[in-house]
Structures are given as C-alpha cells and as structure tokens.
Amino acid sequence: ISPPNAEVPFCCLTGVTVAHGSMWQLQSMIKEVTGKNAILAYAFYGCYCGLGGKGRPKDATDRCCEIHDSCYQRLKYYGCCAKIVSYKYYYSHGSVLCGELSCDCDRRLVLCLKKNLYSYNKKYRFYLNLCSKPAVQSQL
C-alpha cells in the first residue's frame, strides 16, 4: 500500500472503496469502517457528535467527536472549509488512506470511533440540549 500522499491508481486497488465530497465522504467512511449509519448512530450522539459541541464528552465515542471538532477548528483557522472541501479516500484491509487535511481529520475520527465501539451507548443518541460548558475553576 502506498503512503497517503501518493497517487494510487484505482485499478491497482482491489477491495477498495473510493468516495468524493466532504460530509458525504465522512458519512460513507463511518459506515464502511464502523458498520454504523452515520446519521442514525452519530449525528446527535453525546455532546460533540454532529453540529456544535460543548460540555464534557459523555464517553470515549463522544471524545472522538470532540477531537474531530478540534481538528476541523484548526483547519478553519488556516482557511480550510473542511466540511465542504471534496477529497478522495481509499479504504482497504482496515486502513483509510487519503492526502487532504480534512480527510485526515475524518480518517482519525472513524478510526477512533472503530477503536471505541465498545463505549457506544444508545442512551447518548439524540442527546440534544443536555450538555453544558464545564464550570470555570477559580484559581484561589
């Protein structure tokens, strides 16, 4: 397998999925790597999965989404619109290969979600408005 930044001819990769588009690619990548429907399983999960994010992550799955939000924020700081930038990724034998920075954020997310499937808890689905910013600790 070639490194993520290398051009890999599609015809040379067997058992590989290729996708285009940003949120569409993320959704596709989540389904392929975790086996879960991205919208039903993660769109409103915990305090960080989906739009927005505040408070303390509810579990390791939610923490993956918090880290992903931070990754997107870093890209936004440098002028990259990670949610709309199109990219290609390749998924083969448990590895996600890609070259774009927004894809790397998504790749890290899906691998984190896969690693933490054990922590996924249905009670945190559709967990809307039940998260708040952590209390500011005074330094006395």
Q: Is 52 among the annotated ligand-binding positions? A: yes
DSSP state, residue 104: H
SS3 12: helix
Cα 3 versus chain centre, distance: 20
Reduced 3-state DSSP string for 16-77: CEEECCCHHHHHHHHHHHHCCCHHHHHCCCCCCCCCCCCCCCCCHHHHHHHHHHHHHHHHHH
Q: Is 50 among the annotated ligand-binding positions? A: yes
Q: Is 59 among the annotated ligand-binding positions? A: no
Annotated catalytic residue: which of 20, 59, 104, 106? 106
Does 20 qualify as catalytic in the annotation? no
Is residue 77 packed enough to be buried (19+ CB in 10 Å), middle (13-18) or exposed (0-12)? exposed
**What value does the CA radius of gyration of the chain take, rounded to a whole number of Å?**
16
Does 93 qualify as catalytic in the annotation? no
Annotated catalytic residue: which of 59, 68, 93, 104? 68
Binding-site residue numbers for Ca(2+) are 48, 50, 52, 69
Residues labelled as active-site residues: 68, 106
Binding-site residue numbers are 48, 50, 52, 69
